[in-house]
Amino acid sequence: MEENNNKEILRKKWMKKRKKVAKKEGDIKSKIISKKILSLKEIKESKNIMIYVSYRSEVSTNKLIISLLNKNKRIFAPYCIKDEKRMEVVEIENPDQDLEKGAYGIKEPAKRIRNNKIDPKNLDIVVVPAVAFSKSGYRVGYGGGYYDRFLERLANKTITIGINYEEMLFDTVPKEDHDLAVDMVVTDKRLLRINK
């Protein structure tokens, strides 16, 4: 229980820190991170990419989604099924039309397109948000466990990329036995290849 309390305290502290970073330099840093993502050979070689739709102080993904759609990538966005604590993904073709406010006030695929959900095993790449990452690829999320459970459902070949501001990258973060590390972490200052 000690571990969870610590994680909760750190999460709150880090959320505040991220908010400050986002307010000060979020746009600039998000642009740099997007550029790095677009130049990755793994992105160039992939077809099916899931990207979170940014919310509040997260690294902005709005322009990145549009850039990838313009490169003829198939883009998938997640949505939460709150009562089952589960996340699914659906292809979006036009963010303006295909996204609406969903669970937790975050933009998600509209209900009218959700019957097109795909098996997460078909994704080539998943771009993952977090409050903070460690240099070994572990993440502190928002405490709902949605991503932890979702990442377990991916195929072994799927590449997971965590993105965040450099200030939110730490030597270590609290982790539990079931936590999965991402394969890469991209910040505005560096690219860490962890598992791939």
For the segment 74-130, what is each residue's pLDDT rounded down to a tens digit?
999 999 998 998 999 999 999 999 999 987 789 999 999 998 889 999 999 999 999
- What are the pLDDT digits (tens) for 153-172? 999 999 999 999 999 999 99
Pick the closest to residue 120 from 143, 147, 144, 81 (CA basis): 147
pTM given for the model: 0.95
- How far apart are alpha carbons 178 and 180 in whole angstroms? 6
CB of 52 within 8 A of CB of 58?
yes
Where exactly are the structural domains of the chain? 2-193
Report residue 36 as tokens: 């790095």
The yes or no reply on domain 2-193 and CATH 3.40.50.10420 is yes
User: Strands of 159-163's sheet, edge to edge?
Assistant: 86-92, 74-81, 48-51, 125-128, 159-163, 184-186, 191-193
